[in-house]
Each structure stands twice: as C-alpha cells, then as structure tokens.
Amino acid sequence: GAGVSQSPSNKVTEKGKDVELRCDPISGHTALYWYRQRLGQGLEFLIYFQGNSAPDKSGLPSDRFSAERTGESVSTLTIQRTQQEDSAVYLCASSWGGGEEKLFFGSGTQLSVL
C-alpha cells in the first residue's frame, strides 16, 4: 500500500483481556515507532525499532505492554490483561530511518477497554 496501515481501526475489549494491534509500515522504511494518544492529549512514545538494532523500549508503561517487529516489516503491539486506563488511540509511524527523517503515521487503532 501507499501508506502506513494499522488494524483494526477500532477495538473494543473487556478489562483483563489481551489485545494485539498490527502495523504495516511503508515498504523499505527501516524505522518504526508506536505512540499512544489519550483523548485530547499529546503523543506518548512507547517503542522504537530501527533495522536490526535492539528496540528502544523506554516508553513502554508497564510489563503488560510488548511489541515485536519481523525484520523491516510488520509490527505488532500486544497489551496483556488490559485495563481501562489503556483506552486510547495507538498510532504507528514509519520512516526511512533516524530521527531526522519524515515520519509517516497510520490512522491509528482506537482501543476501548470496558
């Protein structure tokens, strides 16, 4: 596809369930980022992948959050034992690599934990 694709666009789950969010970056982009955006708030960094380097996980809020990326392709963000405070839009972005490259964002996954 031409842009960053995220799925699902909306996810409603019950408290305590696990969820998996998917991001398909632009082909060839070596860098991939996950951000969380609570309603009306800014972009909260979660995790950053760059090529084959170890990911920067410094933004993950708890050990319930994890993310994987297969090579330079698809990434999945997993939230285990979801809590109501996990409700937010989860945004994925990709770039050619490095912080000075333009980030291309997906439209996000709206997660609602009931």
Q: Which one of the spans 13-21, 61-69, 71-79, 97-105 is the region binding other proteins (CB under 8 A)?
A: 97-105
Which residues from 45-74 bind other proteins, rule CB under 8 A? 45, 48, 50, 56
88 binds other proteins (CB under 8 A): no
Q: Which one of the spans 13-21, 38-46, 64-72, 73-81 is the region binding other proteins (CB under 8 A)?
A: 38-46
Token pair for 114: 């009931």
Check: CB of residue 18 under 8 Å from CB of residue 7: no
Peptide linkage before 55 cis (omega within 30 of 0): no
Q: Which residues are within 8 A (CB) of 76 and not within 5 positions of it... i.e. 6 or more apart?
A: 20, 21, 22, 23, 67, 68, 69
Q: Which one of the spans 12-20, 40-48, 70-78, 79-87 is the region binding other proteins (CB under 8 A)?
A: 40-48
Please state the closest distance from residue 110 (CB atom) to other proteins, in A. 9
